[in-house]
Structure 1
Amino acid sequence: MADPMFEMITLAAKGYTCAQIIMLLALEQRGRENPQMIKALSGLAYGLGQGSGTCGALTGGACVLGLYAGKGQDNEQANERLPLMLEQLNLWFKEKIAKDKDGVTCAEITDNRQGAGPKMQACGQIVAETFSKVMEILEMNGIDPHAE
């Protein structure tokens, strides 16, 4: 994969949102595509569309953890470490990204409570750091982010 920050900027310029970008980067690492999933993740953008929901970078990161460690078919089980990985992501996000904020909603994270949409200059760094942390969490828990 090319530089994740460059890829992220390219994807944002194409109109993809925070959660979509995090998943697109993860899928690219695996050499996969899944347009239906990417389309579904658009529902997480801008705090579930109103700014009042959880930051899409955090929810998108949680979806990537689920992609690698969740149950997807009748004949498989979720990785027993998935709840721990989700907890690690949530704690990190609250301590690193939301430490000086009132919460983890999109509007709170981007300091935009007027409902005019996220401040993209704030979002880029949040998305990049969250993607990096998700990859770190996977590796810390014995999951290769490049494996199928």
Structure 2
Amino acid sequence: MNDTSLKLMQLGSQGFCCSQMMMIMALEDQSEENSPLVRAMSGLCHGMAGCGGMCGAVTGGACVLGLYAGKGDEDEEEHDRYQLMVSELMDWFNELASAEYGGPTCNDITGGSGVPDMGICGMLVEKTREKVLELLAENEIDPTTPKGGEDVS
């Protein structure tokens, strides 16, 4: 068992859902905490607030990409490859989840129960986190540096 698996088990035992886990780990990469943001991520839990829609691991992953590459205020521009990164993440997840579970929704993955199985869901969060980190690296975005915190000298 690796460090990410252990962290996911810890977060799951604390009652956090997939989308929240994705954001908590990204914030920890930046040595940051942001309870309001983590709280907001609960809107993506269990397929969009418990509706069984798109899996929270991938919607959380899209939010993590936004944390690093999205537009945050009127004077800021999104990264020129932000939309492509999100599209690549969604295509990758759709292919993975469709092959394994018949589709990318929480209902597909949980067999319609809507009850997360930490074995399956934890693995999907871990794989999605790896894909997000890969996309950031491919686009020369340092996951330890918050957007706007990069050296501009």
Q: Answer whether TM exceeds 0.5 for this pair.
A: yes
Instruction: Give the ranges of 4+ consecutive aligned residues of structure 1 lying more than 6 Å apart after TM superposition.
Output: none
Deviation, 1:103, is 2.2
Residues 94-113 of structure 1 correspond to what in structure 2 (within 5 A)?
Answer: 94-111=94-111, 113=112
Native 8 Å contact 2:26 2:64 kept in 1: yes
2:125 to 102, 124, 127: 127
CA deviations 1:91-118 (Å, max 9, x no partner) are 111222332433211010222x144x22
Native 8 Å contact 2:58 2:128 kept in 1: yes
CA distance in 1, matches of 2:90, 2:58: 8
CA distance in 2, matches of 1:81, 1:62: 13
- The percent of aligned pairs where both chains have the same amino acid is 43
Native 8 Å contact 1:107 1:118 kept in 2: no
TM-score, normalised via structure 1 length:
0.91
Native 8 Å contact 2:12 2:118 kept in 1: no
Match of 1:91 in 2: 91
Match of 2:61 in 1: 61
1:100–1:6 distance in 2 versus 1, CA, 3 Å: closer
Deviation, 1:51, is 4.3
1:139–1:100 distance in 2 versus 1, CA, 3 Å: same
Structure 1 residue runs of 5 or longer lacking an equivalent are: none
Residue range with higher mean Cα deviation, 43-52 or 66-75: 43-52
- The code of the aligned residue for 2:128 comes to T
Deviation, 1:7, is 1.2
Native 8 Å contact 2:97 2:103 kept in 1: no
Native 8 Å contact 2:20 2:38 kept in 1: yes
Residue range with higher mean Cα deviation, 134-143 or 100-109: 100-109
CA distance in 1, matches of 2:6, 2:102: 30
- Pair 1:34 & 2:28 matched: no
Structure 2 residue runs of 5 or longer lacking an equivalent are: 147-153
CA distance in 1, matches of 2:100, 2:6: 27
Native 8 Å contact 1:51 1:105 kept in 2: no
TM-score, normalised via structure 2 length:
0.88
Residue range with higher mean Cα deviation, 119-128 or 81-90: 119-128
